[in-house]
Chain A
C-alpha cells in the first residue's frame, strides 16, 4: 500500500496537539532559559534583560569542566550498570510464567513510587556505620567492626542505579517479550550453549533497543541532584547540584540558566553522537 503525501491542512491536523505540547512544555521554557542565560546578573538578587556572555565565560573554566566531566561520566556509568543488570534480568523474566512476570512487574512499578528523597535516606541508613548492613556482616563474622560505606562514589552509583533500574527493565521488557523465540531455538539446534546463544544472538538482535535504553537512562541519571548530595562527598556532586545552588541559594538565575543550557547541549551532543555511531555500524 502506498501512502499518499499529506496535502491539505486537515491531513496535518493529527500533528497539532503534539506540536502544541512540544511548544508549551519544551520550546517556551527552554527558550526562556536560553534568554535568561544571556541576562545581566544583579548581585542584589535580581537580573536585568541584556545580552552578555559573562555567564558562559564564568562556566568555561577547568573547574566547571571537571564537574561537567564527572556528571557525564557518572550518568554513563549508571546507564551501563543499569543495562548490564537489567538486560539479562528482563530476558530471564520473560521466560517465566505470565503470573510470575506480572508479580515482578508490579513490584518494580511500586519501587517507582518511591521519591528520590526516600531512596536517598534509605540507602544512607543502609550504608551507615551505626545501623547499616556492615552490622549484619559483623554479626555473621565476615567483618570485625561496622564501617560507614558512605559518603563514597560507590554509594552514589548504587543509589542511582537502584533508582533507574525499574525504568530500565520497563523499557526493555516489551522488546524482549516480543523477541522471536525461534532465533534462540535455531542457535541451540546449531549447538550453541544457552549463554553463547544469549550473547551472540539475543544481544545483537536487540542492539537498537539497548542503545535507546542506554540513552534514556543516561538522560535520566544526568538530572539527579539529590542522591549525590546525600550519598556522596562534594567531589561527587553533579553539575545539577551546582545549578541548584546558583538558582536557589545564590539567586543567580542567569548563571544557573547558562549552566543548564550547557548541560542540555552536551547531553544532546552525546545522544546525537551515539545515534550517529549506531547508524554507521548498521550501514556496514
Chain B
C-alpha cells in the first residue's frame, strides 16, 4: 500500500491524466457539434420519448445531421417563449411542432420563416391541407403529425356502436356524455355544423356560429361531465360511469387493446382531425437542416413508421403508404375528417370563448 502511495506519479500528473481522458471522452460530442445539427422541439412526455427512440435516430442515420430534441409544453406557452426569444435573435429550438391555433397566431407576427417547397421534394406526398400557408401564399409550416378525436362508447353500456355524432343529441342518452370543456379543444361547433348544418362553412358568419351554439345547447342535458383533464373522462369511460363522449382515437384504441370495454367509432360525418405542424423560427440559422428534416419526415415510409410506433395519423396520402388496413384503421379512417376551423380561435377567440362559457355555465 505504502509503495503505491509513494510511486513517482505526482498528484498533479494524476489530475492531468484525468482531465485528458475526460476531454477525450467529450471529444465525440465536440466533433458532432462541428458537424451539422439541429434543435427540434416536440411535445414533452410520450411524444418526445417516441421521437427520440424511433424517429430522430433514423433521420441522423440517413442525413448525418444530429438532432437535439427539446421538450416543449403544450398550449401557448411555447409560442410565447419562441416569440420573445426571436425578438432577441434567439431560437430555443430551430424547428418546433406547433398546434394549428398557435401556428396561426405565430403567423400574425411573422414568427415562422417561410419554407421553400422546392427543397422539400416529398411535400408532394402530403394531403393538401397539411401545407400551412401565409395569406400571401408563402409556406409557413408543414404538417407533422395528425390525430383524431372520435365518438367513444363503453361497450357494456352500448352493445352496438353509434354511427353518427347525432347520438350526442339523442334524448335517450341523457346524463351520459363526457365532452371536452373548451370550444378550442372540443371542436364541438364544427361537429354541430357538420352534423346538422351541412358543413363547417356555416361558421363563417357570427350568425352561423350563434345558430350552431343554439343547436349545441340542446346537448347540455345529456352532458354529465365537461372535462379539461383527460384522465377524469378516461377512467369514467372505462368503468361505464360515463358511457359515451368524445375522446382521442389512438388512446381509446390502446385501452381497448388492453381489454377495457371501450371502443372508438368514426361517425359517418367524420372524426375530428387535429394536427401539429413543423415550423421554423425566424431566428434560426439552420434553414438547410430544417428543410432536410421536413423532407425526411414527409416520406411515406417515415409516416408509416410513425403510425406504427407513435400512433399518429399520417399526413401523406393514403395510397402512398404501405400500412395494412388494420394498421391504418388503428390511427385513421377513410371517412373524410371534420377539420377544425382554427381561424375562429384566433380571429374571434374572445367572442367565441364568451358565448361558449355562457352556453355551458349559464
**Assuming A44-B108, A230-B232, A234-B360, is B76 touching A128 (CB within 8 A)?**
no
B184 near A151: Cβ-Cβ < 8 Å = no
Binary flags per residue of A233-273, CB closer than 8 Å to B gives 1, else 0: 01101000010010011111001000000000000000000
Number of residues in A with C-beta < 8 Å to the partner?
28
* B358 CB-CB contact with A under 8 Å: yes
CB < 8 Å neighbour of B239 from A46, A58, A128? A128
CB closest chain-A residue, reference B362: A63
Q: What are 30 A-to-B residue pairs whose CB atoms are below 8 Å?
A: A41-B350, A43-B346, A43-B347, A43-B349, A44-B105, A44-B109, A45-B79, A45-B102, A45-B105, A46-B80, A63-B361, A67-B361, A128-B236, A128-B241, A130-B239, A148-B175, A148-B224, A148-B241, A151-B225, A230-B232, A235-B361, A235-B362, A237-B361, A242-B357, A242-B361, A245-B182, A245-B353, A248-B75, A249-B184, A250-B353
In chain B, residues 337-362, which have Cβ atoms closer than 8 Å to a Cβ of chain A?
Answer: 346-347, 349-350, 353-354, 357-358, 360-362
The reply to whether the CB of A179 lies closer than 8 angstroms to some CB of chain B is no
CA distance A130 to B224 in the complex (A): 14
Please tell me which one of the listed residues A67, A131, A151, A229 contacts residue B224 in the complex, with CB atoms under 8 A apart: A151
Interface code A147-181, partner B: CB below 8 Å = 1, 0 otherwise?
Answer: 01001000000000000000000000000000000
Interface 0/1 of B102-138, CB less than 8 Å to A: 1001001100000000000000000000000000000
Query: Contact at B350–A252, with CB atoms within 8 Å?
Result: yes
Q: Which residue of B lies closest to A43 (CB)?
A: B349
Interface centre among B109, B226, B361 (most CB of A within 10 A): B361
Contact A46 B361 (CB under 8 A): no
Indicate if the CB atoms of B346 and A130 lie closer than 8 Å: no
CB-based nearest B residue for A41: B350
> Shortest CB–CB separation between residue B266 and chain A, in angstroms?
27
Question: Assuming A45-B105, A63-B362, A249-B184, what are 12 further A-B pairs, CB within 8 angstroms?
Answer: A44-B105, A44-B346, A45-B79, A46-B80, A63-B358, A66-B362, A130-B239, A230-B232, A234-B361, A245-B182, A249-B75, A249-B228
Question: Are B350 and A250 in touch, CB under 8 angstroms?
Answer: yes
Q: Restricting to B219-244, which residues have a CB under 8 Å from any CB of A?
A: 224-226, 228, 232, 236, 239-241
Q: Kindly list chain A residues whose C-beta atoms are within 8 Å of the C-beta of B182.
A: 245, 249
Residues 79 to 103 of chain B near chain A (Cβ within 8 Å): 79-80, 83, 102
Which chain B positions have C-beta within 8 A of A129?
241
Report the nearest B residue to A235, measured CB to CB: B361
Q: Which residues of A contact B181 (CB under 8 A)?
A: 234
Known: A45-B79, A46-B83, A131-B239. A250 touches B349 (CB 8 A): yes
Interface string of A39-78 (1 = CB under 8 A from B): 0010111100000000000100001001100000000000
Bound complex: CA of A81 vs CA of B225, how far in Å?
26
Q: Which residues of A contact B239 (CB under 8 A)?
A: 128, 130-131
Q: From residue A146, how far is it (CB to closest CB) to chain B in Å?
A: 11
With the chains together, A251 CA to B80 CA distance in Å? Answer: 10
B76: which A residues are within 8 A, CB to CB?
45, 251
CB distance from B254 to the nearest CB of A (A): 22
Contacts of A235 in B (CB 8 A): 361-362
> B104: nearest residue on chain A (CB-CB)?
A44
CB-nearest residue of chain B to A67: B361
A43 touching B350 in the complex, CB below 8 Å, given contacts A249-B75, A251-B76, A251-B80: yes
> Quick one: closest B residue to A45, CB to CB?
B76
Q: Which residue of B lies closest to A244 (CB)?
A: B228
With a cutoff of 8 Å between Cβ atoms, the chain A residues found around residue B102 in the complex are 45
Closest Cβ neighbor of B109 among chain A residues: A44
Q: Smallest CB-CB separation from B349: which chain A residue?
A: A43
Q: How far is the CB of A185 from chain B (nearest CB, A)?
A: 54
Q: Which residues of A contact B79 (CB under 8 A)?
A: 45
Q: A151-B224, A229-B228, A234-B360 are in contact. Are A130 and B349 (CB under 8 A)?
A: no
